[in-house]
A and B are shown apart, each in its own frame.
Chain A
Amino acid sequence: AQTVTQSQPEMSVQEAETVTLSCTYDTSESDYYLFWYKQPPSRQMILVIRQEAYKQQNATENRFSVNFQKAAKSFSLKISDSQLGDAAMYFCAYREITGGGNKLTFGTGTQLKVEL
């Protein structure tokens, strides 16, 4: 079974600084998708960024970028120029491409605090 591990329960960053959240996963599949979702205090799940495993280029979305290392099964999220609104729980998630399953497998989350 696929597993997703987020080893940092909490992280802090100063406003305007850069922070990197770690995620590793375990799978025997060669094609899959990886996601970072943000969960603010409202508890809504908001997609931050998505990476297709067959793409070597790392995904970027404005201040958010990933470092995808397929061989190492690592998928970290970098947040540049951190803002107070970035404070939230961040979940890494994995999803297969092939087969009938579309389910997302989530990690345990990293609580990000942004300090003035």
Chain B
Amino acid sequence: EPEVTQTPSHQVTQMGQEVILRCVPISNHLYFYWYRQILGQKVEFLVSFYNNEISEKSEIFDDQFSVERPDGSNFTLKIRSTKLEDSAMYFCASSPRQGSETQYFGPGTRLLVL
């Protein structure tokens, strides 16, 4: 069964460094998402992406964040200058189309900012 994959599974970085989190959505899906979950808290929406542009973003998704689909398969989340509070689990998700289809989540990337 097709699944969303994410790399790396764990990332440790120093405050102020740039990180890029990578996702490979399910191949025939058209909508892509990033969510994050700070340890012990609920999952929060960051951004949705369709047709090579952001379709919606939350207040969390400020200028330090950007997303890109550099080729036909990868979907990336970049954090330009990481802060301690960016430490969280980051989930990528994809869905075939807007409407009734479910969002399928990847296994997540655990980011730790020191």
Contact = CB atoms under 8 A, between A and B. Distances in A.
B65 to A, nearest CB: 15
Contacts of A16: none
Judged by DSSP, the binding face of B is strand
Interface stretch (A63-71, A76-84, A102-110): A102-110
Contact of A108 (B42, B58, B104, B110): B42
B42 A47 contact: no
Contact of A102 (B42, B56, B104): B56
A35 B99 CA distance: 14
B55 interface: yes
A106 B110 CA distance: 19
Report the interface size class on chain A.
20 to 34
A35 B102 contact: yes
B46 to A, nearest CB: 9
Interface string A31-44: 00101010000111
- What are the nearest 3 A-B pairs in CB distance? A45-B105, A103-B45, A106-B43
Interface of B: 31, 33, 35, 37, 41-45, 48, 55-56, 58, 89, 91, 93, 95, 98-100, 102-108, 110
Interface of A: 33, 35, 37, 42-47, 50, 52, 91, 93, 95, 97, 100-109
